[in-house]
Structure 1
Amino acid sequence: MTPGRRLPIILLLVLAPLLSPLARAVVAPENRLDIEGFAGQARSLDRLHSVLVAVGGEPVLAEVLRGPDLDQPANIKSLSKTIMAALVGVAIERGVFEGTEQSIAEVVSIPPNADDGVREITVGNLLSMQAGLQRTSGEYYGIWVNSNHWVNHALTRPFVAEPGGEMLYSTGNYHILSAALTETTGRSTLALARSWLGEPLNITIPRWPRDPQGIYFGGNDMRLSPLALLAIGELYRNDGRHDGEQVLPQDWVDTSWQPRGVSRYTDDHYGYGWFVTQLNGHDAYYGRGYGGQMLYVVPSLSVTVVMTSDPSPPSSPSFTQRLDDLMERHILPAVERQAAAPDDTRD
């Protein structure tokens, strides 16, 4: 997709009818935002693989700096939580879950040695990282994923806060949701993701890792292409609609973007699978994965941005801040300039 990897024009003409509208728009990418030297600026971020920007649903910038092309799957790490949250929204709409206030004891098996307080945790508490249980991320991640039962391990962590209180970032919360979807429907999370999101959005969702019980990893290690992530972002930007179909419940986007807990690392708020912040003076919502897997939606500018990066450790937390800086210093100002330009300068 980058210079030197663009497809020959004859092949493009042959392939174009087979591609989705978004894929057709970026087959021969160009920097329509006219950000001077953007590729060089982006390339200086040595972990960054790709940047894809759409305004009003139309791709206006597509750069593959290194790594997979825009139509190839990449490990999106914890950005998987944003996808899982969308699945929970569909599950509520379809009556699989009663709602975000439903006790998790009604949708997933609770191990007998779990604290009685676990039954006070709601589906919404898991989504907002406010379950109150000791985390399974950070220093606790290794022992969790090396346990012989990920769900039971997550549910038997000691309480270190009240349910609904402090935000404690924990991938185990989302893995419990994956188990709940499988237990209540009798279908794998992969099958649900393909049926509820993949088919209506016309995106490919490959298999991703499972736990020892066969539950697909909730909240980590999904593989999606930048084009598929752009479709997810556009779905949220359009209030859950895609091509006239209401894929997500109509109110799920507002519900997901309502600030709840506060990240102790960034001070950004967290909703249901999305962080809530301000970028360049605009309300912005983003999903984030380890190493710099980013999905941004800025509704006031009709902007959706995907960035993928090297997912392998080590990665400094400051790298995500550098991606935010790329948004604030270059991408969003360019969109604002384009929006303010006279119509005869925008072809």
Structure 2
Amino acid sequence: MAATTADMEAMRALLPCLLFLTAACDGGATPQPQPEASAATRGLNADTMQAAMADAQRLPRLRSLLVLRDGQTLAERVFNGGPALDRPVNIKSASKSVMSALVGIAVARGVFTGVDQPVLPILRADAPANPDPRLARVTIGNLLSMQAGLERTSGEYYGRWVSSPNWVRFALSRPFVADPGTDMLYSTGSTHLLSAALTRASGRSTLANARDWLGEPLGITIPVWPADPQGIYFGGNEMRLSPRALARFGELYRLDGMVDGKRILPAGWVQTSWTPRATSPWSGQDYGYGWFLTTMRGHPVRFAWGYGGQMVYVVPDLRLTIVMTSAADAPRNTGHIDALHRLVADGVIPAAEAGATG
């Protein structure tokens, strides 16, 4: 029987998948079956994306790259002997974006009253006996946006914090170096306080909530990750998710909190999370609730950023979700993060721009 025009269009739409699905390269995972592309699915320009893959291959610390458009995986590859794409990896501070999602769900479920809820009443058992009065003004939203005002527990302070016998008490006892709601002070301790508040307010561990609220509806595996000495699961670091699970998480945000027609995040939470609230003093990029915000080639880009290059980029107007994982033991200031940003800005986005009309 002769092929119809629709059949031919569907075959052309599928071509980018055939060109770019190369996960078995470099000792990677066996490629997984992909959903059939419809005639309405728009892909990636082949030449531009192949050039981007070649650039990616030259990055020695890169371990995986996935590019989804309209929810369809059009490019995926494992690099430099990295683990299979279904294998959980340490996503480092990209965990903060996951914690933000859990907080949004907790608000919708009534576990938290809202982002303006003060955190001190929930965590009072670990607060200093005579705290700075400003501690009573620190809200759930301040912790999400890194505007608590408390001295940081990241960077040069990190080792002392995670070596302390009580991480929550240590974080709450830091001196104030800014008023709550003002300067951005990137601090993993702030996100860990959210994990502690979620645990105490819900009566369940952050792991249990993550599996119930995100893992099950997204169809992803969330393994156990480290906890503090009191058993509070690490908020803001050390979570394990596979690259494909990260892609599913990114798609949740690209689709405004909906998955398979079911609402997972409360209505408006994605926009709330992607509203600029602070500016990083190091990168100059805006920050919302657990997400960095920037622009590439005129397109708004929102990204989760984990140490060493554990990245989830969402480019809403191009309907893109991009995941990259990297060696987690990368030294600072190697230029690797800048190279990942360039790979998106100069490779994947142009491939999508050309693919939109090709």
TM-score (norm 2): 0.87
AA aligned opposite 2:191:
Y
Query: After the TM superposition, which residues 17-32 of structure 1 pair with which residues of structure 2 at under 5 Å, given as runs?
Result: none
Residue number among 201, 205, 208 corresponding to 1:184 in the alignment: 201
Tell me how far 1:5 sits from its aligned partner.
4.5
Of 165, 169, 172 in structure 2, the residue corresponding to residue 155 of structure 1 is 172
Deviations 1:307-328 (A, max 9, x none): 0000014232632111000011
List alignment gaps of at least 5 residues for structure 1. Answer: 26-30, 342-347
- How far apart are the structure 1 equivalents of 2:222 and 2:145? 24
Q: Is 1:258 matched with 2:275?
A: yes
Q: Does 1:3 align with 2:19?
A: no
1:78 equivalent in alignment to 2:93: yes
2:340 and 2:174 map into 1 onto residues whose CA distance is 34
Distance across 2 between alignment mates of 1:221 and 1:4: 26
Distance 1:151 1:169, change over 3 A: same
1:165 aligned residue: 182
Partner of 1:36: 50
User: Contact 1:33–1:60 (CA<8 Å) still a contact in 2?
Assistant: no
CA 117–4 in structure 1, closer or farther in 2 if over 3 Å, else same: closer
Deviation at 1:107, TM superposition (A): 2.5
Q: SS state of the match for residue 39, structure 1?
A: helix
Give the 3 Å change call, closer, same or farther, for CA 7–182 of structure 1 in structure 2.
Answer: closer
CA distance in 2, matches of 1:33, 1:208: 39
CA distance in 1, matches of 2:95, 2:160: 21
Instruction: Tell me whether 1:232 sits opposite 2:249 in the alignment.
Output: yes
In structure 1, C-alpha distance between the alignment counterparts of 2:336 and 2:94, rounded to whole Å: 15
Confirm or deny that 1:205 pairs with 2:205: no
Moved more, 314-323 or 269-278: 314-323
1:111 partnered with 2:127: yes
Change (3 A) 1:7 1:230: closer
1:306 counterpart residue number: 323
Matches within 5 A, 1:211-222: 211-222=228-239
Number of residue pairs aligned between Structure 1 and Structure 2: 326
Distance in 2 separating the partners of 1:249 and 1:285: 18
After superposition, the C-alpha distances for 1:65-103 in whole angstroms (9 at most, x for unaligned) are: 131111111100000000000000000000000000000
Separation in 1, partners of 2:143, 2:335: 26
Alignment RMSD, CA only? 1.9
**Aligned partner letter, 1:68:** P
Matched-pair contact (CA < 8 Å) for 1:55–1:304: yes
The residue that corresponds to 1:68 in the other structure is: 83
Question: Deviation at 1:33?
Answer: 4.4
Q: Is the 8 A contact 1:97 1:107 kept in 2?
A: no
Amino acid at match of 1:240: G
Contact residue 29 and residue 78 of structure 2 kept, 8 A = no
Letter aligned with residue 268 of structure 1? Q
Contact 1:178 1:217 in 2 (8 A): yes
Shift of 1:37: 3.8
Asked whether the equivalents of residues 24 and 30 of structure 2 are also in contact (C-alpha less than 8 Å), the reply is: no
Give matches, 1:122-161, under 5 Å: 122-161=139-178
Counterpart selection for 1:55 from 50, 64, 69 = 69
Deviation at 1:38, TM superposition (A): 3.5
* Contact 2:44–2:356 under 8 Å retained in 1: no
Q: Give the secondary-structure state (helix, strand or coil) at the position aligned to 1:311.
A: coil
- Please tell me whether the aligned partners of residues 308 and 327 of structure 2 are also in contact (alpha carbons under 8 angstroms): yes
Aligned to 2:7: none
Q: 2:68–2:322: 8 Å Cα contact kept in structure 1?
A: yes
Whether the 8 Å CA contact 1:33–1:61 is kept in 2: the answer is no
Separation in 2 of the partners of 1:231 and 1:301?
Answer: 17
Aligned mates of 2:231, 2:345 — CA distance in 1 = 41
TM-score (norm 1): 0.90
Deviation at 1:44, TM superposition (A): 1.1
Q: Which 4+ residue blocks in structure 1 deviate beyond 4 angstroms?
A: 4-9
SS in structure 2 of the partner of residue 307 of structure 1: strand
Superposed displacement of residue 115, structure 1: 2.2
Range that drifts further, 265-274 or 66-75 = 66-75
Q: Residue 114 of structure 2 is aligned with which of 99, 106, 110?
A: 99
Letter in 1 for 2:229: P
Which amino acid is 1:112 matched to?
P
CA 1:317–1:126 in 2, change beyond 3 Å: closer, same or farther?
farther
Deviations 1:23-75 (A, max 9, x none): x99xxxxx964223443311211110000000111111101113111111110
- Residue 304 of structure 2 is aligned with which of 265, 270, 287? 287
Local SS of the residue matching 2:123 = coil
Q: Which runs of 5+ in 2 are unaligned?
A: 1-22, 38-42
